[in-house]
């Protein structure tokens, strides 16, 4: 097993991660906790991703002896399984297919509905990797911890201040120059909690990462890459 060398999420909200769960009628499937309102959540599932289930379960069995459980897919399409014993995440492989769920006939995917612009309500899953827009909209950062050491990673360290500033200002145009947390999902779409309320129901669409400069991808085996 490979401990993931990049950012490992530490979200505690159930709707901020996917899970492999047992199906009532057949093989295991992928579940998404989809927030409908403050008091209502839908448990949406899909059985169309057997390879992904196998990837996650292989790691889960090695870590705990049991199959099933939570996982993330980051913006590099890396599948990350939390290591609840040693901390951090274990790299399960790279998965390039979008996960799509059905909510009363409406597809719920990591991609925005057609016509959605930055600042509009984000209806998609809240699954994503959290980053921080720094105050003043000048840079983007994330933090890692190793033992007693906390390290801050800034986008400008990877791509330079000019390119980092361009993306930060674009995000700030929607989120505000006060900064704060935002999320990026496996489709490289960005969204943020409305009013900065982490774990709430209302999120706004921040935009697509598209071809903007971003943190270097961690050095892991992605198959055909």
Please write the tens of the pLDDT for every residue from 93-135.
Answer: 999 999 999 999 999 999 999 999 999 999 989 999 999 999 9
Map 118-176 to HEC letters.
Answer: CCCECCCCCCCEEEEECCCCCCEEEEEEECCEEEEEEHHHHHCHHHHHHHHHHHHHHHC
The number of beta carbons lying within 10 Å of the beta carbon of residue 161 is: 14
Q: CA nearest 42: which of 51, 33, 53, 55?
A: 33
How far apart (Å, rounded) are the C-alpha atoms in residues 27 and 73?
21
- Asked if the structure places residue 121 within a domain, the reply is no
Q: How many domains does the chain have?
A: 2
Residues 39 and 71 in one domain: yes
Residues 27 and 99 in one domain: yes
Interval 30-45 mean pLDDT: 88
The number of beta carbons lying within 10 Å of the beta carbon of residue 199 is: 13
pLDDT tens by residue, 60-72 = 999 989 999 999 9
How far apart (Å, rounded) are the C-alpha atoms in residues 82 and 168?
29
- Asked if the structure places residue 122 within a domain, the reply is no
33: containing domain: 2-108
How far apart (Å, rounded) are the C-alpha atoms in residues 9 and 48?
25
Q: Which of 76, 108, 140 is at the close of a domain?
A: 108
Residues 99 and 182 in one domain: no
Residues 10 and 98 in one domain: yes
- Asked if the structure places residue 116 within a domain, the reply is no
- Asked if the structure places residue 77 within a domain, the reply is yes
Would you place residue 196 in the very low, low, confident or very high pLDDT band (cuts 50, 70, 90)?
low
Residues 8 and 83 in one domain: yes
- Asked if the structure places residue 216 within a domain, the reply is no
- Asked if the structure places residue 220 within a domain, the reply is no
């Amino acid at each position: 097993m490979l401990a993931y060398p990049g950012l490992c999420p530490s979200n505690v909200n159930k709707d901020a991660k996917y899970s492999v769960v047992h199906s009532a009628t057949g093989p295991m499937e992928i579940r998404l906790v989809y927030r409908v309102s403050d008091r209502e959540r839908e448990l949406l599932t899909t059985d169309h991703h057997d390879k992904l289930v196998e990837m996650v379960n292989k790691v889960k069995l090695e870590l705990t002896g049991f199959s099933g459980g939570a996982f993330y897919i980051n913006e590099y399409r890396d599948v990350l399984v939390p290591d609840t014993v040693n901390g951090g995440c274990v790299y399960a492989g790279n998965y390039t297919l979008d996960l799509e769920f059905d909510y009363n006939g409406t597809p719920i995917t990591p991609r925005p509905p057609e016509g959605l612009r930055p600042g509009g309500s984000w209806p998609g899953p809240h699954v994503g990797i959290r980053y921080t827009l720094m105050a003043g909209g000048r840079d983007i950062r994330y933090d890692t911890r190793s033992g007693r050491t906390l390290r801050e990673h800034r986008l400008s360290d990877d791509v330079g201040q000019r390119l980092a500033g361009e993306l930060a200002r674009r995000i700030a145009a929607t989120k505000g120059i006060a900064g704060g947390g935002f999320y990026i999902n496996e489709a490289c779409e960005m969204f943020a909690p409305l009013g900065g309320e982490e774990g709430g129901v209302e999120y706004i669409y921040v935009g697509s990462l598209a071809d903007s400069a971003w943190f270097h991808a961690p050095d892991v085996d992605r198959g055909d890459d």
